[in-house]
Structure 1
Amino acid sequence: MSLISSVRNTLVPIHKAGYPFIAVFFVVSLLLGLLWEPLMWVGFLLTAWCAYFFRDPIRITPLDDDLVISPADGRVSSIARIVPPVELDLGIEPMLRISVFMNVFNCHVNRAPMRGSITKIAYRAGQFVNAELDKASSENERNGLVIETAHGAIGVVQIAGLVARRIICWAQPGEIVDAGQRFGLIRFGSRLDVFLPAGAEPRVSLGQLAIAGETVLAEFSSDKGPTVSRRG
């Protein structure tokens, strides 16, 4: 294998949404260096962290309509039956909610948990309390997607956190998404909630680390053959 190929396979791609931030961090580092050289090196470390934050690695996603794949990297912070946010129009009955909390060192690119059609996208302004708190689901700024799947409508909610100040969603109503497909990101610490209809059974535990596009959060049926996967 050539040196160029080795570097290409080692380095993780950076999402384009991070380029402006990385550039700002780099320029500020140079300016700080004019004042005091040690500040420049601190700035370069922060620039490297910024590039790491906006990484967008390739993931291997199981191709199975019975599986619910994690939409985010992070820690499973809640598994409960909760009434979904009213703006999703998913009814007033409790649904299985699995939450994944992302800290500032996790990859923040969000991926669709199941294959289906996006029937609704609803943004709601709110506060910026710690995303690990349960009340963050109802009080924080959030953006919700409703995806019609083979097992009914599911909700996917991007929730801003204590540090996060920008939710990005490039998906559109009517769009068909595949499981593991990128649909948005949240800048600097946040959380993803997945609301699932009856029949879904959790396949993760509280505190477990999840990988976006790969970790199975829940399953609708286990009576099936081998599962294939897709790289993306």
Structure 2
Amino acid sequence: MSLVDSVTKAFVPVHREGWPFIAISLVATLVVGYFVDPLFWIGLIFTGWICYFFRDPKRVTPVQEGIVVSPADGVVSHIGPARPPQELELGTEPVLRISIFMNVFNCHVNRAPMAGKVTRVAYRAGKFLNAELDKASEHNERNGLVIETEHTKIGVVQIAGLVARRIVCFVREGENLGAGDRFGLIRFGSRLDVYFPNGAAPRVALGQSMIAGETVLADLTPGAEGTGPLTRAS
């Protein structure tokens, strides 16, 4: 590997949503630092952290029929039955829900769990409870998507957290997504819930760390409950 390649790989791209925050922080750092020298270095560190928060690394999404990948970086905080949000129109019966909690140090760019057509986008205002709490799925501000294929459909819900105050969704109803495509972002700590159809087999455990667009969450293939765990493609 050449020196140029090594340097290039060391720098992770920053998502466009982060540039206004970086610019504001940098200007404030220069202004305040002009008058108080120690604050310049504190501001510079803070600006660096904002760059880190809005990082948007490349991901390699496994391609296999029936698998669903994680839509977010973070930790699995819930696996079990739950009723989907009413606005997604996925029925009133409990289905498998897997929740991924993102802290302020995780990458917050959200990626499509599977390929399909976005048949519903529904935003709902709400509270800003700690996203780790189970009741956050019901009470917090959220934005939900339904991604549908010829054979199945899933629900993906972006949930604002205690610190998060802005849910960003890049897609609209009627658009087609590929597995691993970027579809949104939540600023400063939050959570993603994924609702699966009956028969889905989870492939993760509570407390497991997720990589958006890469880690396999579940298998929708008929009879998948009897298969072993899947591995990430190289």
Same fold (TM over 0.5): yes
Q: Is the 8 A contact 1:88 1:145 kept in 2?
A: yes
Equivalent residue for 1:139? 139
The CA deviation at 1:153 is 1.7
Q: What is the one-letter code of the residue matched to 1:97?
A: R
Q: Deviations over 1:171-227 (max 9, x none)?
A: 11111111101001001000000000011111100000000000001112347xx99
Structure 1 partner of 2:195:
195
Q: How does 1:34-73 map to 2 (within 5 A)?
A: 34-73=34-73
Cα distance in structure 2, aligned partners of 1:141 and 1:75: 20
SS at match of 1:118: strand
Pairing of 1:91-130 with structure 2 (within 5 A): 91-130=91-130
State the TM-score, normalizing by the size of structure 2: 0.93
Rounded to whole Å, the distance in 2 between the matches of 1:227 and 1:41 is 43
Indicate yes or no: 2:172 matched with 1:172.
yes
Higher strand share: 1
Structure 1 residue 42: Cα displacement: 0.7
- The aligned runs of 1:2-41 (5 Å cut-off) are 2-41=2-41
Q: Which runs of 5+ in 1 are unaligned?
A: none
Q: Which amino acid aligns with 1:171?
A: V
Identical pairs, percent: 63
**Is the Cα–Cα contact under 8 Å of residues 121 and 143 in structure 1 kept in the other structure?**
yes
In 2, Cα distance between equivalents of 1:145 and 1:9:
33
- SS class of match (1:184): strand
Read off the aligned partner of 1:76 and give its amino acid letter.
Answer: V
Tell me, in whole angstroms, the C-alpha distance in 2 between the residues paired with 1:156 and 1:28: 37
Deviation at 1:229, TM superposition (A): 5.6
Amino acid at match of 2:144: G
CA–CA distance in structure 2, aligned partners of residues 194 and 115 of structure 1: 14
- Higher mean C-alpha deviation, range 198-207 or range 32-41: 32-41
1:51 and 1:228 map into 2 onto residues whose CA distance is 28
Q: Which moved more, 1:151-160 or 1:185-194?
A: 151-160
Q: TM-score, normalised by structure 1?
A: 0.94
SS at match of 1:61: coil
Structure 1 residue 34: Cα displacement = 2.3
The two structures, once aligned, show a CA RMSD in angstroms of 1.8
| Preserved CA contact (<8 Å) 2:214 2:232 | no
Q: Quote the Cα distance in structure 2 between the aligned partners of 1:149 and 1:80.
A: 23
Query: 1:80 Cα deviation (Å)?
Result: 1.2
**Larger deviation, residues 23-32 vs 53-62:** 23-32
Contact 1:155/1:196 (8 A) holds in 2: yes
Structure 2 unpaired stretches of 5+: none
